[in-house]
């Protein structure tokens, strides 16, 4: 049960003060009955605003096709961000909608967004070993034996104290490859290739766990069921 004015404010509909005005104006119903007491508590699933059910009252989980050129930071000083692609209401939610892990500005592909902090911690924990598949295009041909280096579990990146976990490299063409990681270090894919003298020209995340983009266009998102990762 949630207090009505706080519920509307937390879901990004309006400020708490504005929510009280909406409720007193008769715009909110609970189980089909107008409720004008903004301090009343209700099950979010039974609340409607202007005749419509509440927007994802149990939390958001979004799959976004991130385009190149956007950052995953909320700090607008870092440039245009992925959150600008979302409906304004979702950008006002509390807890705030944030990315599950990050993709750098020059990387495109599958990015998960949620307002559920427990899910963020769950899916970014190294213990979970969630597989993530990246497609890289290189400036030069792939070196012989690179797959064995990445799979060894002994590759130590610059300024790191712990070697990278074993990673699976699949060669697509002489200058294209798919790399599957089960951890998420800072700029890890680019740094792994750089450690072997390879420059990454383009990088795209194709999969996150069991999820893929399918035919989702760049810059678009789709909502996922709340229990998508319930079995992890």
The domain tally of the chain equals: 3
| Domain co-membership, 105 together with 217 | yes
Q: Which of 2, 127, 126 is nearest to 59 (CA)?
A: 2
CATH at 81: 3.30.70.580
Q: What is the pLDDT of residue 226?
A: 77
pLDDT mean values, one per 10 residues, the chain (232 residues): 97 97 98 97 97 95 98 95 97 97 97 96 92 98 97 96 97 98 96 98 97 97 89 70
Q: Are the CB atoms for 175 and 191 separated by under 8 Å?
A: no
| Partners of 30 in beta bridges | 33, 47
Q: What is the pLDDT of residue 87?
A: 96
- Active-site residue 104, yes or no? yes
| Domain co-membership, 217 together with 116 | yes
| Domain co-membership, 39 together with 154 | no
Q: What is the pLDDT of residue 126?
A: 87
Judge whether 157 lies within some domain. yes
| Domain co-membership, 69 together with 38 | no
| Domain co-membership, 170 together with 121 | no
| Domain co-membership, 18 together with 80 | no
Q: Which of 104, 106, 141, 168 is catalytic?
A: 104
CATH at 161: 3.30.70.1560
| Domain co-membership, 115 together with 11 | no
Domain residues for the domain of 191 are: 131-208
**What is the helix (H) or strand (E) element at residue 168, kind and residue range?**
strand 168-173
Q: What is the pLDDT of residue 88?
A: 95
| Domain co-membership, 178 together with 219 | no
């Amino acid at each position: 049960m949630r207090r009505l004015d706080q519920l509307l404010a937390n879901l990004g509909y309006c400020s708490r003060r504005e929510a009280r005005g909406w409720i007193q104006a008769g715009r909110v119903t609970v189980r089909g009955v107008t409720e004008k007491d903004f301090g009343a508590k209700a099950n979010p699933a039974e609340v409607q605003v202007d005749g419509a059910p509440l927007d994802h009252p149990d939390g958001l989980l979004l799959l976004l096709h991130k385009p190149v050129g956007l950052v995953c930071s909320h700090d607008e000083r870092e440039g245009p961000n992925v959150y600008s692609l979302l409906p304004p209401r979702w950008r006002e939610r509390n807890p705030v909608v944030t990315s599950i892990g990050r993709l750098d500005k020059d990387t495109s592909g599958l990015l998960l967004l949620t307002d559920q902090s427990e899910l963020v911690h769950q899916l970014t924990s190294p213990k979970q070993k969630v597989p993530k598949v990246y497609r890289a295009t290189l400036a030069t041909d792939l070196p012989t034996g690179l797959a064995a280096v990445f799979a060894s579990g002994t590759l130590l990146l610059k300024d790191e104290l712990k070697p990278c976990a074993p990673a699976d490299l699949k060669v697509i063409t002489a200058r294209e490859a798919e790399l599957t990681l089960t951890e998420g270090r800072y700029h890890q894919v680019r740094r792994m290739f750089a450690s072997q003298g390879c420059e990454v020209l383009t990088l795209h995340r194709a999969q996150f766990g069991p999820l893929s983009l399918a035919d989702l266009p760049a810059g678009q998102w789709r909502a996922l069921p709340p229990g998508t990762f319930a079995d992890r």
